[in-house]
Amino acid sequence: MRLICLCSFLVLVGAELRAAEKAFDFNLLKDGELPAGWRVALTGGGPPPEWGAVKDELPSAFERFSASARSETIRPVIAQNSTDKTDERFPMLIYEEEQYGDFKLTTRFKTVAGETEQMAGIAFRVQDEQNYHVVRASSMGGTFLFYSFINGQRTPPVGARVEIPSNVWHTLEIDAKGNDFTFRLNGVQVMPEVSNPNFRRGKLAYWTKSDSVSYFVDTRITFTPLEIKAQQLVKSAMEKFDRLLELGVLVAGDAPGTAKMIASGNADSIGKEGYAEERMVMDLGEMMYLQGKSDVTVTLPLRDRNGDIIAAVRVRMKRFAGQTQKNAILRAQPVVGHLQSSVLSAADLYE
């Protein structure tokens, strides 16, 4: 028989993996549709951007069999269609499902229209709409530039003057290694390597300016997946406390009353839903005690520097003869304390 007990309780106390590749496929999108996992965003003022799929001609990837054969294919691409002319208005479409540190990215882009601007770029290591790096091409200005946004303010640009015709597909490449970035336009490195210490990891986004109507497609990224700090702490705790059977960190799930595992000693558990009682640990500051025949599980709140609950920690341990609930809690406390000492805020879990 398993026993679940909820009671009030006060806690007193990025490693690299092998390279991975992701290609963003928009071929099944309908006109106006957004790809799953992407979010419309805006830096600066003005009305919201208008992102969505449109069909456009692209050079075929296959060699023509005859001079009369078509050299283009018509496929869905991602477009920013808003023509609002507000200055210092930067429409973004952010990929929310993953963060990247070191990576190599390639994409095609085309500037289509715009009376005040004709720009297209890739924002990377995006923290939010106010903090990120961007490399962008301007057909109207004839420039290929890199700069950062820090708290919504642009840093001085670095780059080169280069002709970038509109209504022509171009390729943009980014190679990010630590603080060093290399950029290529149509296969040519047209500016020197850039070094910038801000933002060690973050999300990706398509990016434009003001009334630029711009298209993007064939985006592919090769990257080294990084463990978040919560996972690194779980691993170190599993090594330090040898009687642990399982250790996991849970945060509030997307649906009300749910919890989601973000770090675990069992890789298969990451991303899965936790117990409803574990969400109560976060919402009410309570603990969960679960007793099995040969094991016990204690789930305790994890708090930030201000004492606010930011997560729950599930600790499953071997059960010994005479094991009591109080003793199990005392055994779990140092494990949670090990994590607590390195986490000052919710953001620390994802570093």
Give the pLDDT confidence of 178-202 residue by residue, as tens digits.
999 999 999 999 999 999 999 989 9
- CA dist 205 and 36 (Å) reads 14
Domain at 20-223, CATH homologous superfamily: Exo-inulinase; domain 1 (2.60.120.560)
Q: Is the confidence at residue 163, as pLDDT, over 70?
A: yes
Predicted local confidence at residue 70, as pLDDT: 53
Domain at 3-15+227-350, CATH homologous superfamily: GAF domain (3.30.450.40)
211, two tokens: 């009334």
- Provide the pLDDT confidence category of residue 226 given band limits of 50, 70 and 90: confident
Residue pair 288/277 in contact by the 8 Å Cβ criterion: yes
81, two tokens: 């269609």
- Residues 38-58: what's their mean pLDDT? 97
Give the pLDDT confidence of 87-122 residue by residue, as tens digits.
999 999 999 988 899 999 999 999 999 999 999 999
pTM equals 0.67
- CA dist 38 and 162 (Å) reads 31
Predicted local confidence at residue 16, as pLDDT: 40
Name which of 2-11, 43-52, 182-191, 336-345 the model is least confident about.
Answer: 2-11
- CA dist 247 and 174 (Å) reads 37
Residue pair 214/111 in contact by the 8 Å Cβ criterion: yes
Parse the chain into domains and list their residue ranges. Answer: 3-15+227-350, 20-223
- Provide the pLDDT confidence category of residue 47 given band limits of 50, 70 and 90: very high
Predicted local confidence at residue 61, as pLDDT: 57
Highest mean pLDDT among 66-70, 72-76, 181-185, 337-341: 181-185
Provide φ and ψ at 334, rounded to 5°: -65, -30
Q: Taking all residues of the chain, what is their mean pLDDT, rounded to a whole number?
A: 90
